[in-house]
A = this chain, B = another copy of it.
Amino acid sequence: MNRFTIDHLISKRASKRESSHFTSGPQETPPVGFKPHPDPLLLSYGAPNNGFFPIESSKVNLVDYPFQHQDKLERDYFEENTHSVNITRYTTNPDLIDLSTGLQYAAVEGHKPLLQFTKDFIKRTHNPNYNQWESILTTGASDGLNKACDAILDVGDVILIEEFTFTPFLRFVNNAGATPIPIPIDFSPESNGINLNYLTEMLGNWSNKYPDLPKPKALYTIATGQNPTGLTQTFQFRKQVYKLAELHDFIIIEDDPYGYLTLPRYGTTTTTTTTTAAAAAAAAAPKEVTVDEYLKSHLTPSFLEIDTRGRVIRVETFSKLFAPGLRLGFIIAHESIIKVIKNYSETVNRGASGLSQLVVNNVIHDKFGGVDGWIGWILKMRQTYSQRKDLLLKTIFESKAYQQGLVDVIDPQAGMFVTFKIKFLDGRNQEEITTKMKQLLWKTISYGVRVVSGSNMSVDANFSSERSNFFRLCYAPANNDKEIIESGKRLTNAVLEFYNNGEKY
């Protein structure tokens, strides 16, 4: 096996950090005649014995499908408690994390069973195209992204970013002292998100275009169900982007918080409003998809599957698939990058909550039955998300605003976001778009629906203003289908009224 390093792309700051601990003992070779004791006792670690922990055991009661708690009839069934996971102070099962371990100090990279799960999961879903990769747990995607920035970016370095993006990422770029450069998004039909021609051109003529800036050290991309546009890069497209990364020697930070929630094209499934979540799940989208079919035909491949050189940092999270409050995620990258991220973790947060790790690990193992069982849960989430996405689009398609050509949407292939385009502003000038979009936002608020303006998610509002005539819609927070339909109606009515009123507030 060829071994290789990616060290030249690691930041100087991260390379210099050292990991050591005062309890690690003498580093020297033992003196002549030294015999280790067979049963050493500890007066060393400043860790309280687990006997000081007030929790003896815990029972975690689970649902069988999303929104089951809204189904009164199902609720009785649930209350028989046949679907629970017992957590104990001690266990001998190496796949589980017990309380004496989960509540104790732990290595910053995470508890072994869960860390192993993340690796097994990635092998099954997005197997990297090389061997020297590792995993480390994080306190969620934001934490993962900050750590990726710290690992790669020194003060003065440049990072490329989709012009509309998850803007908290700019904080992490700023924290590393680097400069963000936006890349336009292509909003044409069948778009892959990034404007590849622009990117290719920009990289090829870097020193002319940006004489004062070094060539980019990294590209940050949300390649599946892009935030805020909902666009997804095909495998073929990713290969082209990866080639640019090879040619111009940069890192790809692939942020994928909800890409596992793949969504069928609108109209390929039934969309109905149903009275129970169970019925909805049964009636809704991607029917009878097996895990193998899902992996083969539905899930978009990751950059990891192209990566032969360790230049991809993949940032995942349990926030969207389990729960955000866990503050739990993980990073897959070249082992040298994971190593510097581990050192940084010892400074910035000492790892994820052991309690969160314990609950996620034991629920996945005991309730879902490991990797494929966990994917099974994702498929159930995917059903609900598909149903919601199609209901929202259906409401929009049936609206007067859509039928009069005032608005358009991009049908997302994954995730939780829809681009809602204010079509009647297409081609208008910068100032007009900015003004009208602000007025229209107030109109939507007065109509009782909250959305996010594209410009609010831009790296550089000026650079992107001519493409800012859209709102990001998210169908994740709604309480039920009825709210989604009502939201869509309020939104399209607001646009219609705004347009008919002479485009004034």
A residues neighboring B (CB under 8 Å): 17, 21-23, 25-26, 28, 30-31, 33-49, 51-63, 66-70, 78, 89, 101-106, 139-140, 142-143, 146, 167-168, 171-172, 174-175, 227, 277, 319-320, 322-328, 346-356, 358-359, 363, 367, 377, 381, 384, 392, 416-417, 438-439, 441-442, 445-452, 456-457, 471-479, 483, 486-487, 490-491, 505
What's the Cα separation between A483 and B49 when bound, in Å? 12
Query: Inside 8 A of A445's CB, which chain B residues have their CB?
Result: 25, 34, 36-37, 40
Report the minimal beta-carbon distance from A416 to chain B, rounded to whole angstroms: 6
What's the Cα separation between A232 and B105 when bound, in Å? 25
What's the Cα separation between A43 and B484 when bound, in Å? 8
What's the Cα separation between A125 and B234 when bound, in Å? 59
Query: Inside 8 A of A51's CB, which chain B residues have their CB?
Result: 66-67, 69-70, 277, 479
What's the Cα separation between A250 and B30 when bound, in Å? 44
Residue in contact with A49 in the complex, picked from B52, B143, B476, CB distance below 8 Å: B476
Known contacts A42-B477, A320-B48; decide if A327 and B349 are in contact (CB<8 Å).
yes
What's the Cα separation between A21 and B167 when bound, in Å? 8
- Closest Cβ neighbor of A51 among chain B residues: B67
Residue in contact with A322 in the complex, picked from B37, B39, B53, CB distance below 8 Å: B53
Query: Inside 8 A of A349's CB, which chain B residues have their CB?
Result: 139, 142-143, 327, 348-349
Chain A interface main SS type: mixed
Q: Are A43 and B451 in contact (CB-based, < 8 A)? A: yes
Query: Inside 8 A of A57's CB, which chain B residues have their CB?
Result: 61
Report the minimal beta-carbon distance from A55 to chain B, rounded to whole angstroms: 6
* Most B Cβ at <10 Å: residue of A67, A277, A319, A323: A323
Q: Are B62 and A106 in contact (CB-based, < 8 A)? A: no
Q: Are B328 and A353 in contact (CB-based, < 8 A)? A: yes
Residue in contact with A172 in the complex, picked from B44, B53, B106, B347, CB distance below 8 Å: B347
Q: Are B348 and A438 in contact (CB-based, < 8 A)? A: no
Residue in contact with A55 in the complex, picked from B33, B47, B139, B323, CB distance below 8 Å: B323
Q: Are B41 and A487 in contact (CB-based, < 8 A)? A: yes
Report the minimal beta-carbon distance from A485 to chain B, rounded to whole angstroms: 10
The 10 closest A-B pairs by CB, nearest first: A325-B354, A37-B448, A353-B353, A103-B323, A51-B67, A103-B325, A44-B450, A349-B349, A22-B456, A41-B487
What's the Cα separation between A224 and B33 when bound, in Å? 41
What's the Cα separation between A26 and B442 when bound, in Å? 8
- Closest Cβ neighbor of A490 among chain B residues: B41
Report the minimal beta-carbon distance from A138 to chain B, rounded to whole angstroms: 9
Q: Are B363 and A54 in contact (CB-based, < 8 A)? A: yes
Report the minimal beta-carbon distance from A27 to chain B, rounded to whole angstroms: 10
Known contacts A56-B69, A350-B143, A450-B40; decide if A442 and B323 are in contact (CB<8 Å).
no
Q: Are A227 and B46 in contact (CB-based, < 8 A)? A: yes
Report the minimal beta-carbon distance from A434 to chain B, rounded to whole angstroms: 12
Query: Inside 8 A of A449's CB, which chain B residues have their CB?
Result: 37, 40-43
A-B residue pairs in contact (CB < 8 Å), sample of 22: A17-B174, A23-B452, A23-B456, A40-B448, A41-B486, A43-B478, A48-B476, A52-B66, A53-B322, A54-B66, A54-B322, A54-B367, A59-B59, A103-B323, A105-B324, A143-B349, A175-B348, A349-B349, A355-B355, A355-B356, A355-B359, A356-B356
What's the Cα separation between A472 and B46 when bound, in Å? 10
Q: Are A26 and B348 in contact (CB-based, < 8 A)? A: no
What's the Cα separation between A40 and B42 when bound, in Å? 59
